[in-house]
Amino acid sequence: MNTPEAEPRTGPYADTAARVWNGMRTLVLDLHDKRDEVCGALGMSFIRAKALRRLAKGPRTMRELAAELSTDAPYTTLVVQDLEKRGLVERTVHPGDRRAKIVTATAEGLAAAALAERILGEPPAPLLALTGTDLESLDRIVTDLLGTHPG
């Protein structure tokens, strides 16, 4: 399968941007990846934990959940069946479309999702070791990159 190569980004700071991006990826995905910790704490694969975290935000149809997880319908069904067997979610018939199912996190599922969020949200030691000034600068930069400004 031929896949088009991504065109290199250009600009006066392209090399610096690439170095920063690779550093961020290494920091988050290689050195301080919390996915294994979440899987161990919950006793499930990360895709199941991810599904549970999505469902903790509110009920979803199976189709909506599959789209959010970027998984196909059969795989999403397997994930939900496993979560249902564990008592973490329940499926009900959609009131407006009897062919569709709505998936909702149970109280136990909400607690498991909250544990996953606590683990994922815990800053790594190198970040906690930064000075207040550095943290404030980094916060401003990340907020700008995300387009989220405190109101």
Residues 6+ apart with CB under 8 A from 134: none
Supply the pLDDT for residue 151: 55
Q: Is pLDDT above 70 for 15?
A: yes
In this structure, what token pair is assigned to residue 33?
């990846």
Mean pLDDT, range 100-105, rounded to an integer: 94
Q: How many whole angstroms separate alpha carbon 103 and alpha carbon 28?
A: 30
* 103 touches 60 (CB < 8 A): yes
Q: Which of 5-9, 55-59, 129-133 has the lowest mean pLDDT?
A: 5-9
**Strand ranges across the sheet with 60-61:** 60-61, 97-105, 89-94
Q: Is pLDDT above 90 for 102?
A: yes
Supply the pLDDT for residue 12: 84
Mean pLDDT, range 54-73, rounded to an integer: 96
Pairing of strands 60-61, 89-94: unpaired
Secondary structure of the chain in HEC code, one letter for each residue: CCCCCCCCCCCCCHHHHHHHHHHHHHHHHHHCCCHHHHHHHHCCCHHHHHHHHHHHCCCEEHHHHHHHHCCCHHHHHHHHHHHHHCCCEEEEEECCEEEEEEEEECHHHHHHHHHHHHHHHCCCHHHHCCCHHHHHHHHHHHHHHHCCCCC
Is residue 68 very low, low, confident or very high in pLDDT (cuts 50, 70, 90)? very high
Radius of gyration of the chain (CA): 20
User: What does pTM read for this prediction?
Assistant: 0.81
17 vs 51, higher pLDDT = 51
pLDDT digits (tens, 9 = 90+) for 117-148: 999 999 999 999 999 999 999 999 999 999 87
